[in-house]
Amino acid sequence: MSPGNEQDIRQLLDGVLDTITPSPVPASTVLRKGKVLRRRRRVGSAAGAATALAAVAVATAVIPGLLHQRGHQPPVSRQHNGPAVTVHPPGLHSPAGEIAWGTVNGQRWQLITTKSGAISAAGASAAAGSVPMSPAGPDPISLGALGGTLQAYYGAVRRDVTSVEVTLGDGSKFRLQPVTVFGHRLIGFETPLREAVGRIVAYSGHRELAYAIPYNGAGVAMWGVMLRPGQAEPPRLSRTIFSGRVTGTYHRVTVHLGPWGRCLTDSAGSSACSPASPGPAASAGVIMRTAGPGQPGLLIGALQPSVKAMVLTMAGGGSVSVPLDAMGSLKFYALVIAGHPRILSWATFGGAGNQIDGGQGAPS
């Protein structure tokens, strides 16, 4: 193909540049260095003004020796370059249920849970949720997140986890010691809102058990799977599989595959991650829906690569072939469920035309 016209160039450039998956936003680095630069500029302009004043003063001999006083001025405070986040385990006088406390850029935070698993992110961020009391699946850590004025992360760790190292997007690190609260092994920390989390590593003593590289594109660190030490990172791929208005709401649904597993982000607000492995072949593989079964809305599914076609039978006798979008080892589809015409049934087929699965109504 020759890039013979401008349209070709546009398409090819889209194809090249849209495949790029940037690293997490280095938010804290940008903000910290931006503020340092701003301060330097102010100091520079203030120094210029002071010099001009001094020149006037010397010239008029009104305040002799003014320049010598500069030596007695206190030094300019240096920008703190270490991590802006501190984390501490509960102390002797900590309240019951405290998981951890610390500071974010000088603001104090505190994470407290109850016997029933309710959690409150007291202090700088006022938010509440519930904490998982044990890790789900084979991974040694399960984390939940709460957004307030700060971003709170909290969760459960396996019994063999003795420490957890967290690396933020700017490279700063801190280490968490799991605490036993109401019989559960828990960790917690808070970061500036929308700060990227680069990596979370679970250790048993000095032995690394597993590590997670979260997806940060939705403004909060998420992952669907942790990797084992030495396991190669899966390639990063992002693709928008649906954009449009459904029942009055605009949705732009993007799939992000990578070391975090499979993350789905929807411009309407929801996002979720799960392992990238497909579900069973005999399944409609629904991974996201904006309405309940049978209700008009958007439905996203992920199918095994062996599925070659998905066909819907519509009320009135017609059938519709659902476009499948291959990405990594999965095939995704997006389906807008409208009230009319009604979907009577669905079926998936293999390469030889054999039916793999099917069901009545819309896929569910």
Partner 1 sequence: MDAAADAEFSEFMHDRWGQLVRFGYGLTGDLGLAEDLAQTALIRACASWPRVRRAGDPDAYVRRIMINANYSRFRKRRVHELLSGTPPEPSAVPAAGLPDVRQELLAALMRLPYGQRAVVVLRYWIGMTETEVAATLGCSVGNVKSQASRALAKLRAADLSDEVSHEPR
Q: In angstroms, what is the minimal distance from the CB of 18 to partner 1? A: 7
Query: Quick one: 88 or 194, whose CB is closer to partner 1?
Result: 194
Token representation of residue 158: 């396996």
Among 38, 175, 207, 252, binds partner 1 (CB under 8 A): 38
Contact between 2 and partner 1 by CB under 8 A: the answer reads: yes
Q: In angstroms, what is the minimal distance from the CB of 39 to partner 1? A: 9
Query: Quick one: 17 or 76, whose CB is closer to partner 1?
Result: 17
Query: Quick one: 33 or 308, whose CB is closer to partner 1?
Result: 33
Contact between 244 and partner 1 by CB under 8 A: the answer reads: no
Nearest to 31 by CA among 84, 73, 68: 84
Among 49, 97, 108, 194, binds partner 1 (CB under 8 A): 194
Among 198, 217, 259, 278, binds partner 1 (CB under 8 A): 217
d(CA 162, CA 311): 50
Binding characters for partner 1, 302-341, by CB under 8 A (x = yes): ----------------------------------------
Query: Quick one: 34 or 95, whose CB is closer to partner 1?
Result: 34
Query: Quick one: 18 or 160, whose CB is closer to partner 1?
Result: 18
Query: Quick one: 88 or 239, whose CB is closer to partner 1?
Result: 239
Binding-residue total with partner 1 (CB under 8 A):
36
Q: In angstroms, what is the minimal distance from the CB of 287 to partner 1? A: 23
Contact between 15 and partner 1 by CB under 8 A: the answer reads: yes
Query: Quick one: 177 or 231, whose CB is closer to partner 1?
Result: 231
Enumerate residues 249-268 that contact partner 1 by CB under 8 A. Answer: none
Enumerate residues 17-36 that contact partner 1 by CB under 8 A. Answer: 17-23, 25-27, 29-31, 33-35
Residues that bind partner 1 (CB under 8 A): 1-4, 6, 9-10, 12-23, 25-27, 29-31, 33-35, 37-38, 41, 193-194, 217, 219, 235
